[in-house]
Structure 1
């Protein structure tokens, strides 16, 4: 009888510890994880890129950025100007790509591993990006010193 009680008590203690650890992990993910904060859909607020004069100008465009909790992402951006040309990320004023991402929360960067893209030269590339989370807004910039663009996304 004593043996049954001690086995039951040990089982109860293990279950309590397991539940406590699971609760602590959920709480930490909800409060302190940039991955959790990034997860979901983001609406494009602004895209700035250098014009011929080298100065950043706002592009009239719309877009959607999606991060999933299992590390996938996709981005689509459409320039409102039907005569928009091509760039290293777009064709005919449209940008679309998808893949996976790795997050460096301490460095405030992520690496976008491009698996598919409208611009096929991007496929297979690892694009390092700097990010900043500020409330409902996410700002993303290239870490490449030769690229001088900035994108602001927002969640409703």
Structure 2
């Protein structure tokens, strides 16, 4: 199968270098704490997967992921973002569309997320249009480094 649009420029695995979120008045917002890591994978046949985690999420008291206390579950959920699905990228448009099939946040299932692309060799910046974070309109920039 031929890559769709210009997908080959994004194809590969990317590690999160850092991120910036600006609130509606320009103030910084921390979503995954100050110590986040993540991976973004684009395949040459149009699939993608994104995972971002707060590295300081506390472990559950029990070693059973279905036996967490409500505060443990909330902390684990709020400190992690993950979704996968299809994507398309047309370099001349300057954006990539993430067509989410499944997400840890079920409201994103079946939704398309548009990300503005700045690509410079092994560095990728994905920016968002205004999104709601904790009830506030924010914009996000995610800085990725190619690892393959």
> Is 1:100 aligned to residue 86 of structure 2?
yes
TM-score, scaled relative to structure 1: 0.68
Cα distance, 1:51–1:81 mapped onto 2, change above 3 Å: farther
> Which structure shows the higher strand fraction?
2
CA contact under 8 A between 1:85 and 1:93: conserved in structure 2?
no
**Residues 63-110 of structure 1: CA deviation (Å, up to 9, x unaligned):** 000000011100000012326997xxx923001100001212111101
Aligned equivalent of 1:153: 144
In structure 1, list runs of 5 or more residues that go unmatched. 1-28
1:152: how far off? Answer: 0.4
In structure 2, list runs of 5 or more residues that go unmatched. 59-71, 132-136
Query: How many equivalent residue pairs?
Result: 123
Q: Which has the larger radius of gyration?
A: 1
Cα distance, 1:85–1:141 mapped onto 2, change above 3 Å: farther
Aligned equivalent of 1:12: none
CA contact under 8 A between 1:56 and 1:149: conserved in structure 2?
no
> Which structure shows the higher helix fraction?
1
What RMSD over aligned residues (CA atoms) do the two structures have, in Å?
A: 3.0
CA distance in 1, matches of 2:41, 2:35: 20
> Is 1:64 aligned to residue 39 of structure 2?
yes
TM-score, scaled relative to structure 2: 0.71
CA contact under 8 A between 2:115 and 2:128: conserved in structure 1?
yes
Aligned equivalent of 1:48: 20
**Which of structures 1 and 2 has the larger relative contact order (alpha carbons within 8 angstroms, sep 6+)?**
2
